[in-house]
Structure 1
Amino acid sequence: MSKQFDMELFLTGVLTGSHATRQRHLRQAKIIQAEITERWQRETPWSWQRKHVIWFLEHCLNKHSRATRYYYLLTVQLLAHRLGKSWVFIAE
C-alpha cells in the first residue's frame, strides 16, 4: 500500500499570497494531479512531463471560461517553478 502524495507539502515552499489564493492553488493543483493520474497513471508531479500538463490545459479546461483557464495557468506555472522546470505555457 503506497502513501498518497501530499500536494500541500509539495507546494509549501512556493505558495505565496493570501490564504484564499494559496487554497485556490492547492485545490487546482490537486485537480490537475487527479486528472493526470487518471489519464496517464502519473501520480506525482515529479513524474509529469510537459505533454501531460499541456494535455490537462487543452482537454480538461476547454469548456471553462478564459478567467478559469488563466487561474489554472498560474497554478501550472507554480508547479513548474517548484519542479525547477523551465516550461513555458501561453494563455489563450
Structure 2
Amino acid sequence: MSKPFDMELFLAGVLTGSHATWQRHLHQAKIIQAEIAARWQRETPWGWQRKHVAWFLEHRLSQRSEATRYYYMLTIRLLARRLKTSWVFNL
C-alpha cells in the first residue's frame, strides 16, 4: 500500500510569496495532477511529459479566461522548475 502523492511537499522548495499565493499554486497543481492522472494514469509529476501538460492546457483550459490561463502557466512554471525541466508553451 502506498501513500498518496503530497503536492505540497513536492512544491515546498520552489513556492514563494504570500500564503494566498501558496494556496493558489497548490490548488491549481492538484487540479493539474488530477486531470493528468485521470486521462494518462500518471499519478505524480515525475512521470509527466511535456505532452501531458500541453494536453491539459489545450483541452482543460481552452474555455477559460486569459487571466486563468496565465495563473495556471505560473503554476506550470513552478512544476517545471521543481522537475528541473524546460517546458515551453505558447498560449
Q: Please name the residue that 2:39 is paired with.
A: 39
Q: Which residue of 2 aligns with 1:75?
A: 75
The amino acid across from 2:44 in the alignment is T
- Aligned-pair identity in percent equals 77
Within 5 Å, give how 1:1-92 maps onto structure 2: 1-90=1-90, 92=91
SS of the aligned residue for 1:16 comes to coil
TM-score, with structure 1 as normaliser: 0.96
Q: Give the TM-score of the pair, scaled to structure 2.
A: 0.97
Q: For residues 6-57 of structure 1, give each alpha carbon's deviation from its aligned partner in whole angstroms, at most 9, with x where no partner exists.
A: 0000000000011100100000000000000000000000000000000000
Note the C-alpha offset of 1:86: 1.2
Q: CA RMSD in A?
A: 0.7
2:66 and 2:87 map into 1 onto residues whose CA distance is 21
Q: Aligned-pair distance for 1:4?
A: 0.5
Cα drift, residue 89 of structure 1:
1.9
CA distance in 1, matches of 2:84, 2:61: 24
Aligned counterparts of 1:89 and 1:78: Cα–Cα separation in 2? 14
> Shift in Å at residue 80 of structure 1?
0.3
